[in-house]
Amino acid sequence: AADLNVHVAAEVKNFVPSNFMDAKEARRRDRFEQFAIAAAREAMNESGLQITESNAGRIGVIISSAIGGLTSLQEAILTNHEVGPRKVSPFFIPMLMANGGAGMTAIEFGIKGPCFSVASACASGAD
């Protein structure tokens, strides 16, 4: 954050997605989805929650995000411009969607209950 005009930040340095999920799956997810899964894994480890076939439908995922994968959006725009649309990742749309954090978290852990994203722009974290 030292190089920014605003010096209050929550930078995540040295984040290694493969510490929290399969490396192949990590490549198919935007950074915000990787953070969501990592946070969920840490919360589940701390809480001792075990997701089983018998309780998966009674567990839900609600994650708030102001917007989806901006990094993926930028990469797709540049790729499309530089080499054409056929080189844009087929995972682009799931990586871009604001509800991707909740959806990918539910998929990662086999959660089958309610799953949605609350999006209220910059106030999303307060929802």
Please give the chain's pLDDT, 127 residues, in tens: 567 787 777 889 999 999 999 999 999 999 999 999 999 999 999 999 999 999 999 999 999 888 889 999 999 999 999 999 999 999 999 999 989 999 999 999 999 999 999 888 777 777 6
Q: Residue 90 and residue 114: Cα distance in Å, rounded?
A: 26
Alpha carbons within 13 A on the beta-carbon side of 48: 0
Q: How many CB atoms lie within 10 A of CB 77?
A: 11
Query: What is the model's pLDDT at position 1?
Result: 58
Query: What is the model's pLDDT at position 15?
Result: 96
Tell which CATH architecture fits domain 17-126. Answer: 3-Layer(aba) Sandwich (3.40)
The token pair that represents 34 in the structure block: 């990787």
Q: Residue 87 and residue 21: Cα distance in Å, rounded?
A: 25
Closest among 117, 86, 89, 85 to 29, alpha carbons compared: 89
Closest among 70, 82, 65, 60 to 121, alpha carbons compared: 65
Angle at 40 between CA 17 and CA 61, to 5 degrees: 125
Query: What is the model's pLDDT at position 52?
Result: 97
**Residue 44 to residues 23, 26, 53, Cα–Cα distance (Å):** 20, 19, 16
Q: What is the residue whose two structure tokens read 């954090």? A: 101
Helix (H, G, I), strand (E, B) or coil at 39: helix
Q: Where are the domains of the chain?
A: 17-126
